[in-house]
Amino acid sequence: MSNQKPRLPKGMRDFGPDKMAKRRFIFHAIRTTFEKFGFEALETPTMENLSVLTGKYGEEGDQLLFKVLNSGDYLSGTSVEDYTSGARSLSSKIAEKGLKYDLTVPFARYVVMNRHDLTLPFKRYQIQPVWRADRPQKGRYREFYQCDADVIGTDSLICEAEIILMMNEVFAKLGIRDYNIKINNRKILTGIAGMIGEPDKISELCVAIDKLDKIGPEKVLEELITKSFSDQAITALKPFLKVEGDNDRTLNNIKALLASSGPGQEGIREFEDILSYLAQFEAGDNHLEFDPRLARGLAYYTGTILEVKVNNVDIGSVSAGGRYDDLTGVFGMPGISGVGFSFGVDRIYDVMETLGLFPEDTSITTTVLVTNFDKASEPYAIEVLGQLRNAEVKSEIYPEPARLKKQMNYAHKKNIPYVLLIGEEEVSSNMMTLKDMRNGEQKKMTTPEIIEALKNG
Amino acid sequence: MSNQKPRLPKGMRDFGPDKMAKRRFIFHAIRTTFEKFGFEALETPTMENLSVLTGKYGEEGDQLLFKVLNSGDYLSGTSVEDYTSGARSLSSKIAEKGLKYDLTVPFARYVVMNRHDLTLPFKRYQIQPVWRADRPQKGRYREFYQCDADVIGTDSLICEAEIILMMNEVFAKLGIRDYNIKINNRKILTGIAGMIGEPDKISELCVAIDKLDKIGPEKVLEELITKSFSDQAITALKPFLKVEGDNDRTLNNIKALLASSGPGQEGIREFEDILSYLAQFEAGDNHLEFDPRLARGLAYYTGTILEVKVNNVDIGSVSAGGRYDDLTGVFGMPGISGVGFSFGVDRIYDVMETLGLFPEDTSITTTVLVTNFDKASEPYAIEVLGQLRNAEVKSEIYPEPARLKKQMNYAHKKNIPYVLLIGEEEVSSNMMTLKDMRNGEQKKMTTPEIIEALKNG
């Protein structure tokens, strides 16, 4: 047993009271929105069998999985040859479980295991931590929360419209006003790949185009040339990269450019249907920005793609999602399509801190501190405390008689807005002094008056 | 990549919508009570360095820790000798992190790391999962939640009284009525060990006496004999094991038996002080049962010990706690005393299922399903849906036109209490049919009437 100074593992965090209060403010906005739209909660375990996780996130993802050592004598059944053939070979024999890397694969596993009990369409949300053995850096942690909502078992574009409504509702609740929801459709990208004569290189096209914002059109074209895109393809692609203007103008441009592309036209029609649903919802300003170059690297998406960026803050996307046509095929259950999206809580937290958007009362936990002057007045103070709590006022007493300054300091540090002063005089007069810590005002009041004043405080 | 049927790891669980709703009902009761009493939320990471965890839970606990394989080439820096010297020796070199085993040790680690920023007394609660590589069995899982609240940095017995109030408040919120809060004080046990002339065998005494309920007094005495308790000690102990009657009678008996024991008298005085605080709170029936034989194995406790059992249900304790005088000494920071308690959510869940205590509406998530008859009525249905949501009614639309029976089945399976029928006739008359799924009643109503009816539904 060591007496060394304890430390946190690399890339992991504690969330103390103030951070917890702010994080819960964000989680509450997300959770209540998901539920208002009919999504139900699901939680899956921290650990999954590695047979479930491995091979789902590409070579790089596999290497970022945290693996859990088998219990007991995990080396029994291994040989010195397993050891000498190296870490990867040995780990398949000594670690059969890993920490979940995202919420999608465990969700797919849940759907497959419960397919006989689920009624489709199934609308689930999931707010849980995931783990990645990534190199930690500013804003990137090894343990972080994902907040996913998915509808599976329907192709209805109402779902896409509702995702846009939910994004807008969450940001409204959080007080984030200046943001864009970029929208595109994988079929439009398929159409572009076809129109430029490179239909089989859709993945390479998406990977390159995804970097447009970061590296600019010239570098994107350079990358495509290294991927053996033909000269004609490069020439044909240029107009797509330059399409600009408001949504109507962009839409008209793309319609013209993709006039003879079947998938392209289908992608455009889907986007127009979503706009029409949003109009039926009377959604008002929906913050949509049609961007035919939005690609999002994931090969997984097959229809609509969405990505939210907050303007004037240098942080990546804070929410994203899209439609997929095969959630569970990898587990032997084909044909489950759906659409889902996710909020990045850590980034939203940073945005809100940067813009100063957390309401002042977010980190108020206790409403009132009852002071503890001396043993003589303590019973009266405790009686009042009991009455405050009976009225559902969040309240506490300083647990032992102490100097008033110490007790005021406690209230100040804990961000408690009111202090109730109870000493000899107060006990005999049945009138207590309620002090508002924010403006220093003091007022003499009876217990019922205090309860009335604090009940909605 | 395998196409095998995916499975859950042993001892781990998914929580689908129904279970989640019920679990959240319990968590909500616990969380709101903690907060009403001034406790603030803390979350610590899933993983801790093994140097933090190891040696804190005894030999057995160390073996139940889930260890996480180091990332990358975890074998670099090891030799074939490390392999051949066996699992325990190798794991110290290939796994530096583990999953947390309880919430107390990470809390202690947090306190030590943040000691310069914390204002004492510090009241924190923590609701998080923990992991133990135990053999899974009915009611025992490898991943389960703990709900802890602790006050550190004060010896005030107000804290003990408030723990009893919180236990009562949580059970009242959950509708659990028939339970006892057993209370004792470690100093009373110390007094007993002294009175029987075996002051140095307090641990052995506690371990044996802890089994009194299960194995009876004869077996307890037999166990003590094998631990070399003297004949005189065994004889002297018998009256303690037989003390019975209501709290007053038990208290009087123990007072007499421990009349000449300093620690014994101190323990009794502390219990009486707690009773006196409860009276000041005007707590009413506090469910307390003074049991001088309550020991709880943990050497950790030094003052009050508490344990809650629900009557007429064959499940162990559902809540427990106690006072300790050294939380952080093991991390080189002595003198931090406190008192804390914990709820066992899985056991409370089983109690509530067994007694049928979950309110019927616990698992209602969506309030109303708007039906989708055909493409012609869909825009009207969507408009109504938007208005319902503007009024904060949890609502959803069946995402595509489908047979009514299918939609009703969806509402039924999802436990949605109301269905709003919107077809051609409803669109033209602006009157919709609201069906109550629980009694089958139908009523024609306008949108404002429907909103009014459902707003608090």
Q: pLDDT tens-digit profile of A267-287?
A: 999 999 999 999 999 988 899
Inter-chain residue contact A68 with B67, CB threshold 8 Å: yes
A124 Cβ under 8 Å from any chain B Cβ: yes
Average pLDDT in chain B: 94
**pLDDT-derived band of residue A2, with 50, 70 and 90 as boundaries?**
very low
A45 and B86 within 8 Å at the Cβ level: the answer is: no
Residues B129-146, mean pLDDT to the nearest whole number: 93
Residue of B87, B131, B282 lying closest to A75 (CB–CB): B87
**What percent of chain A has pLDDT above 90?**
86
**Is a pLDDT exceeding 80 seen at residue A144?**
yes
Cα of B354 to nearest chain A Cα, Å: 23
Asked if B14 and A66 come within 8 Å (Cβ–Cβ), the reply is: no
Cβ–Cβ gap A67/B68 under 8 Å: yes
Residues of A whose CB is below 8 A from B414: 40, 119
Residue B89: which pLDDT band, with cuts at 50, 70 and 90? Answer: confident
Cα B44 to Cα B129: distance, rounded to the nearest angstrom: 10
Average pLDDT for residues A190-196, to the nearest whole number? 95
CB contact under 8 A, B37 and A389: yes
Confidence (pLDDT) at A5:
86
CATH architecture label of A364-456: 3-Layer(aba) Sandwich (3.40)
Give me the helix-helix angle, B186-195 and B231-242, nearest 10°. Answer: 140
d(CA B54, CA B62): 6
User: What pLDDT digit, counting tens, does each position of A154-166 carry?
Assistant: 999 999 999 999 9
Q: Is the ipTM of this complex over 0.85?
A: yes
Name every chain A residue with its beta carbon within 8 A of the beta carbon of B415: none
Residue A134 near residue A103 (C-beta atoms within 8 A): no
Which residue matches tokens 């959950």?
A: B174
- Separation in Å, CA of B386 to nearest CA in chain A: 5
Would you tell me the crossing angle of helices B262-280 and B158-174 to the nearest 10 degrees?
50
B72-111 CB burial, b ≥16 within 10 A, e <16 = eebbeebeeebbeeebeebbebbbbbbbbbbbbbbbbbbb
pLDDT score, position B2 = 46
Nearest to B55 among A1, A38, A83 (CB): A1
pLDDT in tens, B103-127: 999 999 999 999 999 999 999 999 9
Average pLDDT in the A368-384 region?
Answer: 96
Name residue B17's amino acid. P
- A265–chain B nearest CA distance, Å: 21
**Chain B window 224-263: which residues touch A at a Cβ cutoff of 8 Å?**
none
Handedness of CA A19, A20, A21, A23 (dihedral sign): positive
Q: Please indicate if any CB of chain B lies within 8 Å of the CB of A280.
A: yes
A91 contacts chain B (CB < 8 A): yes
Contact B154/A at CB under 8 A: yes
Average pLDDT over residues B338-363: 95
For chain B, give the percent of residues with pLDDT over 90: 86
Interface contact A6-B97, CB threshold 8 A:
no
Interface contact flag, B68 A99, Cβ < 8 Å: yes
Q: Averaged over A386-401, what is the pLDDT?
A: 97
Specify which residues B43 forms β-bridges with.
A15
Residue B149: beta bridge partners? B125, B341
The verdict on a CB contact (< 8 Å) between A44 and B382 is no
The Cα–Cα gap between B254 and A314 comes to: 69
Identify the three-state secondary structure at position B216: helix
Which chain B positions have a beta carbon within 8 Å of A80's beta carbon? 80, 83-84
pLDDT, one tens digit per residue, over A52-97 is 999 999 889 999 999 999 998 999 989 999 999 988 889 999 999 9
Report A:334-363 residues touching B (Cβ under 8 A): none
What pLDDT shows up at residue B340?
Answer: 97
- The A residues from 403 to 422 touching B (CB cutoff 8 Å) are 409-410, 413-414
Q: What is the pTM of this model?
A: 0.95
pLDDT attached to residue A4: 66
Instruction: Find, in chain A, the residue whose alpha carbon is nearest to that of B108.
Output: A6
Interface residue of A28, A46, A388 to substitute, partner B, most B CBs within 10 Å: A46
Under the banding of pLDDT at 50, 70 and 90, the label for residue B367 is very high
Q: Is A448 on the interface with B (CB under 8 A)?
A: no
How does pLDDT run across B279-322, given as a tens digit for each residue? 999 988 899 999 999 988 767 899 999 999 999 999 889 999 99
Q: In this predicted structure, which of A9-13, A349-353, B139-143, B370-374 has the lowest mean pLDDT? A: B139-143
Give the per-residue pLDDT at A131.
Answer: 98
Q: Which of B2, B35, B413 sits opposite A394 (nearest CB)?
A: B35
- Contact of B187 with B264, CB cutoff 8 Å: yes
Task: Give B271-274's long-range contacts (Cβ < 8 A, gap of 24+).
Answer: B271/B183, B271/B185, B271/B188, B271/B304, B273/B157, B274/B157, B274/B160, B274/B161, B274/B164, B274/B183, B274/B304
A234 pLDDT more than 80: yes
B114 at interface of A, judged by CB pairs closer than 8 A: yes
Query: Which of residues 30 through 89 in chain B touch A, CB cutoff 8 A?
Result: 35-49, 51-52, 54-56, 63-64, 66-69, 71-76, 80, 83-84, 86-87
Q: Which of A130-134, A135-139, A384-388 has the lowest mean pLDDT?
A: A135-139
Q: How many Cβ pairs within 8 Å bridge chains A and B?
A: 304
**What is the predicted pLDDT for the residue at A299?**
74
Mean pLDDT confidence for B70-96: 91
Check the CA dihedral A49-A51-A56-A61 and report its sign: positive
**pLDDT for position B19:** 97
Rounded to whole angstroms, how far apart are CA atoms B79 and B63? 23
Predicted local distance difference test score (pLDDT) of residue B395: 98
Write the pLDDT tens digit of every residue in B4-60: 689 999 999 999 999 999 999 999 999 999 999 999 999 999 999 999 999 999 889
Percent of chain A with pLDDT over 70: 99
pLDDT digits (tens, 9 = 90+) for B169-219: 999 999 999 999 999 999 999 999 999 999 999 989 988 998 888 899 999
Rounded CA separation B427/B372 (Å): 12
Spell out the domain ranges in chain A.
Answer: 364-456
Tell whether the model's pLDDT for residue B155 goes beyond 80. Answer: yes
User: CB-based contacts of B88: which residues, under 8 Å, 6+ apart?
Assistant: none
Shortest Cα–Cα distance, A248 to chain B (Å) = 23
Residue A3 has pLDDT above 70, yes or no: no
Taking an 8 Å cut-off on Cβ atoms, the answer to whether B5 and A331 are in contact is: yes
DSSP state of A269: H
Provide the pLDDT confidence category of residue B376 given band limits of 50, 70 and 90: very high
pLDDT given for residue A457 in this prediction: 58
Q: Which residues of B touch A115 (CB under 8 A)?
A: none
Pairwise CB contact (< 8 Å): A399 & B7: no
Average pLDDT over residues B214-232: 93
Cβ contact, residue pair A414, B119, below 8 Å: yes
Q: Cβ of A77: how many Cβ atoms within 10 Å?
A: 10
**What is the reported pLDDT for B3?**
55
pLDDT of residue A284: 83
Nearest to A129 among B46, B131, B369 (CB): B46
pLDDT digits (tens, 9 = 90+) for A323-368: 999 999 999 999 999 999 999 999 999 999 999 999 999 989 999 9
Rounded Cα–Cα distance for residues A441 and A13 (Å): 38
Name the least confident of A102-111, A370-379, A387-396, B423-432: B423-432
Chain B hits for A36, CB-CB cut-off 8 Å, are 389, 392, 394-395
Beta strands in A21-86 (DSSP E): 40-41, 47-49, 67-68
Q: Which residue has the tokens 């240098």?
A: A314
Residue contact A51–B6, C-beta within 8 A: yes
pLDDT at B300: 84
CA distance A93 to chain B (A): 12
